[in-house]
Homo-oligomer: A and B are copies of this chain.
Amino acid sequence: MSPLRYCHHLLAQLVSSGDTVIDATVGNGQDTIKLAQLVGKTGKVYGFDIQETAIEETKKKVQLTGLTEQIKLINDGHEKMNDYITDNTKIQAIVFNLGYLPKGDKSIITLPDTTLSALEQGLNLLNVGGQILMMVYYGHDGGTEEKDAILAYLETLSQEKFSVLQYGFINQKNSPPFLIAIEKRR
């Protein structure tokens, strides 16, 4: 199955009713809505996006789905996560889609420094058994640099504390996206 499908498969196993989760890159809002369905009305989804249009468009979609109660959209960069979510809020899952907003301004992309900062904050916020699921799109300008910086960082994570899984096809052209799944082990 494709990395994206496997990502959704893992999410459905990982997240249940009442959980608190983060969509670190709201984009077109698809994952935000999927997460809101998984956590239900007793759960919470924090959605970050630095692009106002992404937040505004997603707000409209959220209202149409009737999932407003459990979704909090935040028009700020994901590297500001700690300004909005306190350390004692334990997070079951955090989703990242690295790259640019589909159908949006392709010059606005996620960047190594802010992605790494958000990743570190996210690892700290996770429950034991919780996971960060990151779809890495890197075919655009600057994509390879971001991918390499993230992989170099992840390879240094303690294997006692985290397991870092890479899942992807290796015989495809045009830099196909791959999935990184980081589980907090203790």
Contact = CB atoms under 8 A, between A and B. Distances in A.
Contacts of A169: 159, 163-166
A157 B173 CA distance: 11
A112 interface: no
Contact of A168 (B154, B165, B171, B173): B165
A167 interface: yes
Interface in A138-186: 151, 154-159, 162-173
B171 A164 contact: yes
- When all copies of this chain in the complex are counted, the total is 2
Contact of A167 (B151, B155, B159, B165): B165
Contacts of A172: 159, 163
A171 B162 contact: yes
Contacts of A151: 170
B170 A168 contact: no
Nearest to A182: B171
Contacts of A173: 159
Nearest to A171: B164
The listed residue with most B CB atoms (<10 A of its CB), out of A156, A165, A168, is A165
A133 to B, nearest CB: 14
A155 B164 CA distance: 23
A166 B176 CA distance: 13
B166 A168 contact: yes
Given A154-B170, A159-B169, 5 more contacts: A154-B171, A158-B171, A159-B173, A166-B170, A167-B167
